[in-house]
Structure 1
Amino acid sequence: MPRFALKIEYDGRPFAGWQAQADQPSVQKSVEDALARLDAGFAEGARIAAAGRTDAGVHATGQVAHADLQKDWDSFRLTEALNFHLKPAPVAILQVAPVAGDFHARFSALERRYLFRLVARRAPLTHGRGRVWQVQNPLDIEKMRAGAAFLIGQHDFTTFRSSICQAKSPVKTLDEIAIEEVEIPHGREYRFFLRARSFLHNQVRSIVGTLERVGAGGWSPDRVRAALEARDRGECGPVCPPQGLYLTGVGYPENPFGE
């Protein structure tokens, strides 16, 4: 059976997350329902696999999944057909590419890249509502960068791990945290870029929520190091809401999309 990689973009607001769940809308089910209109295997209950299982309300601009189809489709035609059948769900197939049979969207991945968008302004948001986390007061970006520096590298991230995380080990290697500040009308936007081979459940939201406390002046940067070294979930800062989080890309030994 031909295997295809799918690059997927979605607005996470109407979904209970990526993963298919009984009686709840999911991104996975939306894509599988579109495939079922095109492929007999999916009409009989075949499944797709994704690089990351994003939570309810989390968005994606570069999720990757793979699907085994009975028909050897032209990539462009499959992309167009899927997007037609995905309407009106806020899900788009950006690109489709044939891949080898041993390619796996999750297990072949070498890194995941996330963006978290945080807006500081007093006026309520209109255009960005549901797509960013809003706070009222500006943050100190240099202090947030100083706090983030303690988290780079390999650490036991128990403090920044959800209590329901199913990962076998809390030890992860965080390759990058970059923070940018952008001026917007009547406020500032802070963009947190995080890169690692894999992340623990709620790790990104726990880190950003903690760094926001540093930027707001409630925490010193050194307290981030102390929280990390405590290996205690109770020492973590607030977990920020999901709507500012985006899965922006997945890295593989060879890019299946040729970019």
Structure 2
Amino acid sequence: MILYKIKVTIHNPIFQIKKDNFMNTETQNYKIIVAYDGTRYKGWQVQKSTDDTIQGKLQHVLSTLAGKPVEVIGSGRTDAGVHAVGQVASFHMPKHFSKDEIFIWLNEHLPADIAVTDISNVPDRFHARYNAVSKTYVYTIHTGIVSDVFRRKYVYDYDKPLDTDRMKKAAAYLLGEHDFKAFCGNRHMKKSTVRTIFSIDIEKTGADIVISYTGDGFLQNMIRIITGTLIEVGDGRKNPDAVMEILASKDRAQAGYTAPACGLRLERVDYGKVVC
């Protein structure tokens, strides 16, 4: 996934922030679709120790336009190094800024590896995280002997053959509602680790194996740990039936390794019948 962005310099009075506008407290809620190359970022969520987060970059650019702090709410947190095609976020801005003004401002001032691909007005009650019904992530494994040098930041190069039939059998055990504590990267998780996976599709195209995960939500590192486990099934280190035992154990040590972040991207977020 390579993002291209054309920078356009616009000298327009609509971007001149007027002091008298600061007195206007009326706001409009917006929903945006964000694409990003996560290679150089420390993940989605703002952190005190670094400025290199996606949420942090968005908030900085929007706050500069608004002349006051703007909180950006993401549909979920992506790990350091994970990419996105269809991340969703929401935020409130003063009403005197139009949707088009905000859209242009964002794409003019964000780094070249972050792009806002769509913006829409949404009701005040819309919340990018709480209203999400499902999320789809895609993990790409390149199994060829020769690395794909032009996609090395977006695929996991694994130079051994993988049996996708075995992987599909193992993945079937993960469908539905389960306690995925064994597949959670946070060993001290205090909140519920129960999640529902609606589908896991595994397709082999040439040297690529593409795994698509759709669920109601995912725990920290959950998809990468599941992917590492499926890889260990595919190369013969684990039996497909072992997944049932791993789930029942609720023990992270029983699951496979955590696959690298580079192969993972957030593909889309769905909101069902929520008006947005």
1:243 matches 2:267? no
> 1:195 Cα shift?
0.8
Distance 2:149 2:214 in 1: 29
Alignment RMSD, CA only?
1.6
The corresponding residue for 1:54 is 78
* Aligned residue identity for 2:59: E
The corresponding residue for 1:144 is 167
Structure 2: 5+ residue stretches without partners:
1-26
The corresponding residue for 1:71 is 95
**Post-superposition CA distance 1:108-139 (Å, at most 9, x none):** 11111111111111223311112111100121
Q: How does 1:1-259 map to 2 (within 5 A)?
A: 1-24=27-50, 25-40=52-67, 44-88=68-112, 90-164=113-187, 166=189, 168-183=191-206, 188-254=207-273
> 1:178 Cα shift?
0.6
| TM-score (normalizing by structure 2) | 0.86
- Amino-acid identity (%): 33
Asked whether the 8 Å contact 1:15–1:27 carries over to 2, the reply is: yes
Secondary structure of the corresponding residue to residue 242 of structure 2: helix
* Aligned residue identity for 2:144: R
Distance 1:83 1:256 in 2: 25
Asked whether the 8 Å contact 2:187–2:252 carries over to 1, the reply is: no
* Aligned residue identity for 2:55: Q
**Residues 216 and 31 of structure 1, relative CA distance in 2, 3 Å threshold:** same
Secondary structure of the corresponding residue to residue 54 of structure 1: coil
Asked whether the 8 Å contact 2:136–2:269 carries over to 1, the reply is: yes
The corresponding residue for 2:13 is none
Secondary structure of the corresponding residue to residue 241 of structure 2: helix
**Residues 145 and 72 of structure 1, relative CA distance in 2, 3 Å threshold:** farther
| TM-score (normalizing by structure 1) | 0.91
> 1:72 Cα shift?
4.5
Asked whether the 8 Å contact 2:180–2:194 carries over to 1, the reply is: yes
Structure 1: 5+ residue stretches without partners:
none
Deviating above 2 A after TM superposition, structure 1's stretches of 4 or more consecutive aligned residues are: 71-78, 163-167, 253-257
Distance 1:209 1:100 in 2: 40
> 1:256 Cα shift?
6.3
* Aligned residue identity for 2:198: D
* Aligned residue identity for 1:207: I
Asked whether the 8 Å contact 2:29–2:122 carries over to 1, the reply is: yes
**Post-superposition CA distance 1:68-118 (Å, at most 9, x none):** 001344433422221011133x00000000000000000111111111111
> 1:165 Cα shift?
6.0
Secondary structure of the corresponding residue to residue 265 of structure 2: strand
Distance 1:215 1:69 in 2: 49
How many residue pairs end up in the alignment? 249
Asked whether the 8 Å contact 1:160–1:207 carries over to 2, the reply is: yes
Secondary structure of the corresponding residue to residue 246 of structure 1: strand
**Residues 167 and 11 of structure 1, relative CA distance in 2, 3 Å threshold:** farther
**Post-superposition CA distance 1:173-215 (Å, at most 9, x none):** 11111111111xxxx1111111111111111011000000111
Asked whether the 8 Å contact 2:84–2:266 carries over to 1, the reply is: yes
Larger Rg: 2
